[in-house]
Amino acid sequence: MGNKLYVGNLPYTVRDEDLQQSFGEFGSITSAKVMMERDTGRSKGFGFVEMGSDAEAQAAIAGMNGQSLGGRSITVNEARPMEARPPRTGGFGGGGGGYGGGDRSGGGGYGGGGGDRSGGGGYGGGGGRGGY
Q: What is the CA radius of gyration of the chain?
A: 26
Domains of the chain (ranges plus CATH)? 4-78 (3.30.70.330)
d(CA 79, CA 7): 8
* Residues 71-82, mean pLDDT to the nearest whole number: 95
d(CA 6, CA 81): 10
* Residues 122-126, mean pLDDT to the nearest whole number: 50
d(CA 2, CA 112): 56
- Chain segment 17-75, per-residue pLDDT in tens: 999 999 999 999 999 999 999 999 999 999 999 999 999 999 999 999 999 999 999 99
**pTM greater than the 0.75 cutoff:** no
DSSP 50-72: EESSHHHHHHHHHHHTT-EETTE
Q: Is 31:19 a contact under the CB 8 Å cutoff?
A: no
Alpha-carbon separation of residue 117 from 10, 106, 108, 111 (angstroms): 53, 10, 9, 13
- Chain segment 64-74, per-residue pLDDT in tens: 999 999 999 99
